[in-house]
Structure 1
Amino acid sequence: MKQLTFFTLFFITTSLFSQEFKTPVEYLQYIGKQEENITKETWKYTKTIAHSTSGRKIENTRKNLIKSIQNAKLNILKLKDGYKGDVEFRDIILEYLRVSEIIITEDYSKIIDLQEVSDQSYDFMEAYVKMQDLVNQRMDDEHEKLNLGQKSFALKYNITISEAQSELGKKMKLSNEVFEYRSVLYLIFFKCNVTDSNLSKAILAKDLSAIQQNSSSLASYVEEGLEKIKAIKPFKNDASLINSTKKSLELYKKTTVEQIPVIIDFFMFNTKFEAAKLNIEKKKPADRTKEEVDNFNAMVKDVNVKINNFNNINSKFDQEKNQLTNSWNSTATQFVSKHVPNE
């Protein structure tokens, strides 16, 4: 999951204890300190999501992030005169903080709502991922407005501001890249995974039409996914997630080629068998011809063989797919933990 990020361009760490600013640089120092606190809490939030499975811990860090935004807003609100009556940049900061709080509270809630139903269908999962992208883009847009406001203020007062990115900013940028990379491969994997799940439901329901339809869709999605994977390069020489996704898709392809034909053959034959069984049971033993009895006995032998094949191949593929799903999830967790710094 891509995380919300706040990249700061303020790199002045001098602490100020007064809101009476003698120079515009002191004014930027004060504002930069507020932004620095938010950035630190944002990084804690990002790290927690990357390295923790505790929902409570993640939620607590989110609350701390919200609190840091609210505190910064209160501190900036105290600057009633901005810098010697110039409140333009102060107002830009306040608007940025206002929108940031909305994003972390209201937009985050929307993401959680989508997450709760995301595994029900590919469309829901895609909507969930897109919502995260939209929220992050909104945050980026707001931050760009902030940067432009800062540059305008600096230009007005002949201040040179470093455009170099802080170490924390670099870490947060890297974490975004990690989550984006994982999301791309996850959507490829999930599209096949959820279709295979629907296929399994159709098999349990003995719905031949649904089996054929989902099998056809699965085969198509596998080819689509394998083609997309060809264009994805390893992340910093780490191809683990690519390999895991490819391996999963190859098993789904085997499902459509090896498992489903056996299942379809069994259901079609079993339909004929049940009809033959019903037909012969309607007749009294004395009324049954030798040919009818011999044909039915042959079908009994065949259906027993097919039942055995049906059970064996289902058991084999179900076990392999469960293992690969667990393996993909484990690989994704390790991938994020490896590439998102934990310091």
Structure 2
Amino acid sequence: MAEQSFQTLGEFIIDKQDDFLYSSGELSRLLSAIRLASKVVNREVNKAGIAEIIGQAGNQNIQGEDQQKLDVLANEIFIEALSQREVVCGIASEENDDFIEIKTGNNAHLSKYVVLMDPLDGSSNIDVNVSVGTIFSIYRRVSEPGQPVELRDFLQKGVNQVAAGYVVYGSSTMIVYTTGNGVNGFTLDPSIGTYYLSHPNMTFSETGKIYSINEGNYIKFPQGVKDYLKYCQEEKDDRPYIARYIGSLVSDFHRNMIKGGVYIYPSTSQSPNGKLRLLYECNPMAFLAEQAGGKCSDGFQRVLEIEPTELHQRVPFFCGSSKMVEKAEEFMRNADNS
């Protein structure tokens, strides 16, 4: 039997380059930098248990969260890889208080792109060997190339994204990304260090059987979310649904896209604006979800239409199979009007 032929991520990027509105080769180099950095982070994640790179780093990030050693390392790896390709003029990361202006290379000031990222989503799970990930979002700058990058280059609505994706470091390592022409997934063959197209044209089913939420916070949830959870657990029609919650956004999203489901991280009485960050968590996932036929909202409006006002802005997040998100929104609206 003939051996099956797989397309590599590098080949796919080159083949699809002309599908991109601003095709000039720069975005391809940028995605190649992310590919390289993900391999290095994958190596570090997989040796975390035998190297002294697990546990807390002794610092807190801008959100007041304890930084893990791998958070810091992954952040450095991605910044280094992105800085060397002379296609990025600025980077914003969950791990940094402010954005970083890239000055490396002769042409860095002429670069057209900015990257926002969560370099190691779910890193608190590293110590217990649970899947973690990287999330990235790419925009064309709005300020004039040749000038220093500005905050407004990062404070763009999600609809302006030119590419977004994530890496999941799990039982296998995958890159899943979109440039606005569907969603494709690539699995790393660790024996030769190459990503191969393994999940072409990924899509959300219209509905599913899985709901993902931290029910331990139930008492703090808005009434609409409580009502929706009761609906999910009701024995009627195709319900009850199945509760599945990992605690790593990338992993929960990835499972729900493949199997059908909804992920919810709502506002709470303690976090009235939600906890997930709009620019480097919610927007890229919303872009991916919509490109895969799913839906994302803050419970009332489309996430990609939210006007950002600050770099580390938080929003409530409802994302996944379209009919499940719409049903959750219905409960939110009804509770809000009662």
Q: TM-score, length-normalised on structure 1?
A: 0.26
**Relative to total residues, which structure has the larger helix share, 1 or 2?**
1
**Relative to total residues, which structure has the larger strand share, 1 or 2?**
2
Structure with max Cα Rg? 1
If asked which structure has higher relative contact order (CA below 8 Å, sep 6+), I would say: 1
Q: TM-score, length-normalised on structure 2?
A: 0.27
